[in-house]
Amino acid sequence: MTSARTDLRFLIIGAGMSGILSAIELKKAGYDDFVIYEKADRLGGTWRENTYPGIACDVPSHFYSYSFAPNPEWSHRFSPGAEIQAYFEEVARRYEVASRIRFGQEVTRCAFEGGCWKIELADGSTDEGDFVIAATGVLHHPAYPDIAGLDSFAGACFHSARWDHDVALAGKRVGVVGTGSSAIQIVSALVDEVAELTLFQRTPQWVAHADNPAYSDEQKAEFRRRPEAMQELRAQVSRAFTEGFANVLIDAESPVLQAIHQSCEANLENNVADPALRERLRPTYRAACKRLVLSGNFYDAIQRRNAKLVTEPIERIEASGVRTRDGRLHELDVLVLATGFRVDRFVRPMQVIGRNGIALDDVWGDGPSAFLAISVPGFPNFFMLNGPSSPVGNFSLIDVAELQFAYVLQLVEQVRSGACDEICASRDAMQRFEAERKVAAKTTIWNSGCKSWYLDRNGLPTAWPWTFDRFRQEMSEPQLDDYEMRRRGAPA
Ligand code: NAP
């Protein structure tokens, strides 16, 4: 008989949306021994790192908020990045977890030794705890394109997630490489400021039209007076999102996806006047195969007099600009690489060592995986938020992380109650999950004939391949049969 543990210590890695969430939820659950390690000097994760012009979240703000911290002050349906950053900072202060963040502390190694997690930091210091919560983010490590001559460009050149605000753009000739959500927001925001804007498109994107009205002072006052109005709005958006999108992605043939495709086609037909430009902007794959781009002003922007769409492939980059395969040189002062992220990194480059010295990097030799996106066999008391095969893309990752952390707390409870000291997914459960996931991935819209960051190196979608309702249901309660629960020091 083992008694309940009251001394559990948690090491949270990352002070972005999910790290802050973890700290708040731990406090609410009565755990007070936790620390958040953050490599940067500010919290906010993706919203700290991405500061490009036009940055906003294309998930409605009243849905892209913590469920327990509605915000009556959101300025727009899709509020800008700086407001979201300020929101996370304010919530972290209000819930008194900001003081638990150790800034400028990068965790380089975590190892499960002697029944607990020992971590090493870049400055040589160490710490230990019973649990690691890896809240390290998904779209985090910029992917730089492998284009010949990139280093030879004489002007300013930076990635969209590393925006150089010292570079003045007014009156400049600016090139943007990429047509993902970042590029579309950048182009729409910059076109009126710069002298010339050239968008280098390798693959066209389907764009779903989305207006972005501001909330009036009266609406905000109503939200303040009646917080339940925000909850009603959130529930309404959540329902529409689940039924009208997240539940149908798994069935490429679903009528809802066909309707989304038709509305993207109509957006292109109705809003791009020049038939030649329209055809160059028309994708050949299904809408939502790549992450759907939402925008109310991209088509306007790309039709401005000073905007140019280049669809000829890039041959190389030279000191004065971008040379395309047709031999043309597109002269530029500034080059923005909106070329996405290395999405298979997850907790890496941090080294994670599980039971018996096994390295996560080796376990992930064929690509990252985790049971229900949370736990890896052989890595007890180590849990990931927004980990491999989480629902990603056009989702509120806050909603996802909240569901995941509620589940993680139930795993923690097994240790707290004394039912075990160490808990992680069993190898059988992991194998079954991966086998089923791979079968299900094949019929998703992401596998309908396009290239995107959703695909692994074998071309199979990596994201949660079932309905969002199933995700919600799986997260409601762990099936303990899927877990290996051990006493400390028990033989393997
Ligand atoms: P992305 O969707 O991965 O797009 C990268 C773009 O760069 C693609 O158009 C890609 O072309 C292009 N590209 C990459 N390498 C290239 C090369 N060598 N030559 C020419 N083009 C190249 O990246 P992202 O726009 O940064 O978005 C990533 C994710 O971040 C999004 O899908 C979304 O989940 C998230 N995001 C969300 C929001 C939001 O509002 N919520 C905003 C921005 C980003 P191909 O298509 O041909 O590969």
CA of 177 to the centre of ligand 1 (A): 9
pLDDT digits (tens, 9 = 90+) for 63-100: 999 999 999 999 999 999 999 999 999 999 999 999 99
pLDDT of residue 442: 96
| Residue 5's pLDDT band (cuts 50, 70, 90) | confident
The answer on pLDDT for 6 being more than 80 is no
pLDDT digits (tens, 9 = 90+) for 408-448: 999 999 999 999 999 999 999 999 999 999 999 999 999 99
pLDDT digits (tens, 9 = 90+) for 461-492: 999 999 999 999 999 999 999 999 999 877 76
| Residue 395's pLDDT band (cuts 50, 70, 90) | confident
- What angle is formed at CA 178 by the lines to CA 177 and CA 184, rounded to 5 degrees? 110
pLDDT digits (tens, 9 = 90+) for 249-272: 989 999 999 999 999 999 999 999
421 token code pair: 């000291």
| Residue 394's pLDDT band (cuts 50, 70, 90) | confident
CA of 388 to the centre of ligand 1 (A): 19
CA of 337 to the centre of ligand 1 (A): 9
The answer on pLDDT for 1 being more than 60 is no
Ligand 1 contacts CB of residue 181 (under 6 A): yes
Closest residue CA from atom 26 of ligand 1: 340
Closest residue CA from atom 34 of ligand 1: 393
The answer on pLDDT for 2 being more than 70 is no
Ligand 1 contacts CB of residue 414 (under 6 A): no
pTM of the model: 0.96
pLDDT of residue 157: 98
Q: With beta carbons less than 8 A apart as the criterion, state whether 39 and 452 touch.
A: no
Residue % of the chain over a pLDDT of 70: 99
Tell me how far apart the alpha carbons of residues 27 and 22 are, in angstroms, rounded to a whole number.
Answer: 9
pLDDT digits (tens, 9 = 90+) for 28-58: 999 999 999 999 999 999 999 999 999 999 9
Instruction: Provide the mean pLDDT of the chain.
Output: 96
